[in-house]
Amino acid sequence: MSERSKTKDKILRTALALFNNEGESQISSVDIASVMEISPGNLYYHYKGKDEIIVELFADFEEEIRQVLNSPIQKPLAVEDNWIYLYIIFEEIFDFRFFYKNQSDIIERNPGLRQAFAKILALKENTAFSLLSALEKEGHIKFLEGEKKALSTRIAQHFTFWLQYHDLRYGMAAPKSLIDAGVFATLVQITPYWTHAEGYAELLKDFVAKR
């Protein structure tokens, strides 16, 4: 990534926080300039509008989430690291929640993001497939033909729509504790395939005890 000026960096950080906390649709580039106490003209010098900021924020997110998602594909995780790893994924998404809550609108306005986001979705499926494969290889879970692929897709969907669902269901901003619920819901989807009842109980006990 090319070196960014301090001002550009500050614009991005401010915009991300405002989009996440107030809702992307509620924030204009004038608001961002106002919070930063710079003139709208100064902001315009660096970014020609809100969408240009969003595209750059997306590029940062893409780089980071790719690194996270690729890790278990390149090298399988230890079993006990799986749920911690899920926390990392959910936190990455939570930190970029303005996009996930309004993905259709943002992509419609910025068609260039469509393919990049589709690749992230494909990578999410591959990651889920790798996690499940590692657990299967070690005999922790067992699948019938086709189930592993279907579950991978289901988990990727859960990653993608978990925040949006919460907003639609409860009509309020998602609290950060929703990450707990997201990780738990992922595990619940995997556990029916768990081969050892005791192992499953241990896993959940460990998980729930820390909640």
Partner 1 sequence: MSDDEKKKRSSTETARRIWLAGIGAYGRAFTEAQGALKEVTGKSSEVFDDLVQKGEMIEKVVEHKGRELLDKTKVVDIEVPALEIDERIKRMRARLSMGVSVGMSGTKGEGQSASVTERLDAIESKIETLSERLDALESSAPKASPKKTKPAKATTRRTKKPSAS
Residues of this chain that bind partner 1 (CB under 8 A):
1, 13-14, 16-18, 20-22, 26-28, 30-31, 34-35, 63-64, 66-68, 70-75, 77, 81, 84-85, 87-88, 91-92, 95, 119, 122-123, 126, 145, 172, 175-177, 179-180, 210-211
**Spatial distance between the Cα atoms of 20 and 193, rounded to a whole number of angstroms:** 36
Per-residue b/e over 27-45, b at no fewer than 16 CB within 10 Å?
Answer: bebebbbeebebeeeebee
Show the tokens assigned to 198: 């005791």
- State which residue, 177 or 197, has the beta carbon closest to partner 1: 177
Please say which residue, 196 or 205, places its beta carbon nearer to partner 1: 205
Q: What's the closest the beta carbon of residue 108 comes to partner 1, in angstroms?
A: 23
Residue 141 has φ and ψ, to the nearest 5°, of: -130, 160
- Residue 10: CB minimum distance to partner 1, A: 9
Collapsing DSSP to helix, strand or coil, 194 comes out as: strand
For the bound state, the minimum distance from the C-beta of residue 18 to partner 1, rounded and expressed in Å, comes to: 5
> What minimum distance in Å lies between the beta carbon of 35 and partner 1?
6
Residue 197 CB, nearest distance to partner 1 (Å)?
A: 25
Please identify, using beta-carbon distances, which residue of 11 and 141 lies nearer to partner 1. 11
What DSSP string runs through 79-118?
GGGHHHHHHHHHHHHHHTHHHHHSHHHHHHH-THHHHHHH
User: Kind and range of the H or E element at 17?
Assistant: helix 6-22
Q: Hey, CA dihedral for 21, 170, 166, 135, is it positive or negative?
A: positive
| Beta carbon nearer to partner 1, 18 or 155 | 18
Q: How far apart are the first and last CA of the chain?
A: 38
For the bound state, the minimum distance from the C-beta of residue 41 to partner 1, rounded and expressed in Å, comes to: 14
Q: State which residue, 34 or 196, has the beta carbon closest to partner 1.
A: 34
Task: For residue 120, give both structure tokens.
Answer: 């992230």
Give 128 or 179: the residue with its C-beta nearer to partner 1.
179
